[in-house]
Amino acid sequence: MVSKQIKIIYTKKLPSELELAIRVGYSVANLIKSNYIIDSGIISSIDKDIKTKADLVAHDCINQELSKTGIPVFSEESDHDSFDIDKLQWIIDPIDGTLNFVRGFPMAAISIALWENGVPILGVIHHLFDDQVFYSYSNKGAWLNNDRISVSNIDKKNQAVLATGFPSGRDYSKESLSQFISDIKTYKKMRMLGSAALMLAYVACGYFDAYQENDIYIWDVAAGLSLVSEAGGIYTIESGSSEIKFNVRASRGSLT
């Protein structure tokens, strides 16, 4: 299965870093779908984590292209001891939703973000099954292919749809799960897709009204937070149980 090429019509010239991230996303998506859509090449499956050849190939290709900018690249496949959220860096997830991808469930994406001083400059999320490309840049808005996107206008929790999940690194203690239930029961509905990147993209589109996960890895949310912010929403990111895990909330605004 080979991805069709989507022509994105830009109304103005995009920053070079954003054009690069979009182009790399296209290239790697085509590579993955041409070679790994049927067999992802499972390397290991330990506890709640899974690694595939598709992940590693995607990482190598993205890293090779982005490294040409001279900006460091931090990835799920990187040395995690070197992470500092405040420095200028690319933050990537070669395949967000790897288990979905392995099982053929159509919720997986390539996620590419550029961050500096603890905030996103740009985000690109390339849906691996639907050929949707979400992208954003500071003060230039958020887009899905050729269409500008924006968050919903829902402002009441009891009318809002929450996107959430159980990240592989989260705390599963009774206390933590009890707090999770207490939080989610105030919403109208809850959805779990197995891809934080796509859930945040859908908040940016207004399909969902809020997103929250505790102890989520930075590479899972880096691009999506850019999208939500540029689509008119807000987010909070607080330190989690390690330097690469964060407690993240994102929504159209204050929900009461």
- Residue 89, judged by CB atoms within 10 A of its CB (0-12, 13-18, 19+), counts as buried
Report helix, strand or coil for 44: strand
What confidence tens digit (pLDDT) does each residue in 176-201 have?
A: 888 888 888 999 999 999 999 999 99
In CATH terms, is domain 157-251 a member of 3.40.190.80? yes
pLDDT value of position 4: 47
pLDDT value of position 6: 54
> What residue ranges do the domains of the chain occupy?
16-148, 157-251
pLDDT value of position 7: 58
Q: 16-148 has which fold? A: Fructose-1,6-Bisphosphatase; Chain A, domain 1 (3.30.540)
**Alpha-carbon distance 246 to 237, whole Å?**
6
Terminal CA-CA length for the chain: 45
Secondary structure of 55-111 in HEC code, one letter for each residue: HHHHHHHHHHHHHHHCCCEEECCCCHHHCCCCCCEEEEEEEECHHHHHHCCCCCEEE
Q: What letter would DSSP give residue 192? A: -
Mean pLDDT calculated for residue range 55-67: 96
Q: Which amino acid is at 45?
A: S
Report helix, strand or coil for 34: helix
> Which parts of the chain fold into alpha helices (H)?
16-35, 53-66, 98-103, 174-184, 196-205, 218-230
Query: With bands split at pLDDT 50, 70 and 90, how would you rate the model's confidence at 77?
Result: confident
In 3D space, the residue among 80, 92, 108 whose CA is nearest the CA of residue 193 turns out to be 108
Given a cut of 90, whether residue 170 has pLDDT beyond it is no
> Which range has the worst mean pLDDT, 171-175, 230-234, 235-239?
171-175
Report helix, strand or coil for 49: strand
Q: How far is CA 85 from CA 68, 81, 113, 139, 222, in A?
A: 21, 12, 12, 21, 10
**Alpha-carbon distance 247 to 238, whole Å?**
5
What confidence tens digit (pLDDT) does each residue in 90-116 have?
A: 999 999 999 999 999 999 999 999 999
